Amino acid sequence: MRSEFDSFYDKQLHTRLGVAYFAVVLVFGLLGLRLWFLQMAEGAKYRKLSEHNYIRIQKIKAPRGLILDTNGQVLAGNRPSFDICLVPQDARELGLVTTRLAGLLSLEPPYLKQRMEKSRGRPPFEAIKLKTDVSRDNLGLVLTHRLDLPGVVIEAIPVRYYPHGTLACHLLGHLGEISLRELARDDFSLYAMGDFVGKSGVEQTMERHLKGIDGQYQAEVDAVGYKINTMGRVDPVPAHTITLTISLELQKTAEEALGDRPGAVIAIDPRDGRILAMASSPAFDPNLFSRNISSPDWELLINDPQHPLMNRCTQSLHPPGSTYKLITAAAALEEGVVTPHTSFFCNGSFRCGRRSYRCWKEGGHGMVSLMKGVVESCDVYFYNLGSLLGPDRIATYAKGFGFGAPTKIELEDEKPGLVPTSGWYRARFGIPWQSGDTLSVAIGQGANQITPLQLLMAYAALANGGTLYTPFYVEKIASAEGEPTKRFVPIPRGQLPLSNKNRGLLIEALSGVVNSPSGTGGRARLSHIEVAGKTGTAQVVGIGKALRQSTVFKDHAWFVAFAPKNEARIAVVVLVEHGGHGGSAAAPVAKKIISRFCELEGGGYV
């Protein structure tokens, strides 16, 4: 007979069995639910991870398109670069591997830690770049110790290379790592984080042609992540080749002639606006940017007071000095204010109100006609023209010659310059235009601001019959096989407000500047070709003669010319910042460029 104790025991047992049953059901239910989740909900993810244990999809970088000069010589190409990378999934002891690698490559542990943290959140089978562009010695060290470095792999990729270093750097431009803002744009849909893109110059403007399409291959890897077999491959699509209008030899001459003096030199074909050479000094080495420029190098560039990253050809603004006198002369002739025979007396100064304005020649030039005024660059003659014309008529012709507006060359951040008018003056200073300011403007001083390229295009139009062209520097775009896909043609953008008769008069005067014994541009004279041009000396500030001799306050030197006089095939502008007089500092530079051009052209010039 069962006792009361037995009944109590049975109840306790049944309770415990129920709890145990429930616990078993719950555990197996949770296991089943987890199994379903892993197989159904995240099956694709873990299948991919499983495949990546032995199969890796590797990107094949497409080499960047070549940039050539007009004769087919390489200005920007590519070279192989070896990067040391780490696949976290293959590194069994991540800390130990990175420590060993740091010792082999002399890397600071904090640097490696920073690189690893920067890649946090990425799939563990994706390679992390730890050191780019390693030397052959370091490459050999890694290969020798490969068994001690599981997960460390070597990637070979093409890197941009500029074989001539700083040559034509401002025109060619430089690369930089793509930014998050750029990645968000539709035109960068084929790019990925870490890719390099053009940031300036040709590299930027021709980016869509210079970028190929990356390929890929499937690689079977061993336990430490090294490739043992290629299972499939999609080849990259080659980029286009860009042929420029510039000549490598003429570019070398331009840069050598300018030297290390801050300034700019541009040579073009005035018949269509094609750039033959473009140099800005000081220069920089674009190779520094090809693989993430170092912080010390970047600091040196951006803190340099001479601003080597600035393209002075299109971004530096200065008064044009006496080169602007041609604009004043053109306005006076076209407006009928003077004739070629109208003369004014120069005694070395010009009285305006209570102030005397000096001529550069202290003793004066005597009686001066238009021809003599241009040839000898008499300030007093142009003071007279300016006072007869007024600021707004001078400004109208200046704008007609292309000043005060971009030339529309396809380069970043081109400056428009400034052509002052009476309306601008009132808006800027809140007072009416002053008569003394007209005299300054008439000789290219005062508020006038132009770029070297603007000045060159104006004189080129004078030489070619009166057509203002848009300057261009790309001759053609071709496929990687060399088949042309696009050729560039001249683009007219306006006509000079100048009759053929008056244009001819001004060209004769410019020829006298160089070839007359009294001309200010005699140091550009050549025996085998007739050069026409104009010197200019632009004051930095209104100071005394003694102080102006210092480097900081020395005048800017200009010279702009074309040759041959009547059928010009080359036009050149030279700006030497703080160079002094245009005739002595800038004209000899132009002479060397024109002479070299004649040698390269051959028959008919030498």
Query: Which positions are annotated as active-site residues?
Result: 322
Q: How far apart are CA 159 and CA 63, in angstroms?
A: 8
HSE-up (13 A, CA, CB side) for residue 528 = 12
Element (H, E) at 74: strand 74-86
- The length of the chain in residues reads 606
What DSSP element (H or E) covers 330? helix 325-334
Dihedrals phi, psi of 401, to nearest 5 degrees:
-90, 5
Q: Quick check: 87 and 151 in contact, CB under 8 A?
A: yes
DSSP symbol at 186? G
DSSP for 21-67, written as a single string: HHHHHHHHHHHHHHHHIIIIISHHHHHHHHHTTTEEEEEEPPPPPPE
d(CA 328, CA 395): 9
Tell me which H or E stretch contains 276.
Answer: strand 274-281
3-state secondary structure at position 301 = helix
Residue 175 in tokens: 């690369």
Q: Of 272, 177, 190, which is closest to residue 236 (Cα–Cα)?
A: 190
Residue 182: exposed, middle, or buried by beta-carbon count in 10 A (0-12, 13-18, 19+)?
middle
* Tokens 């200065």, residue located: 318
Torsion of CA 543, 545, 551, 553, to 10 degrees: 10
83: its two tokens? 């990067």
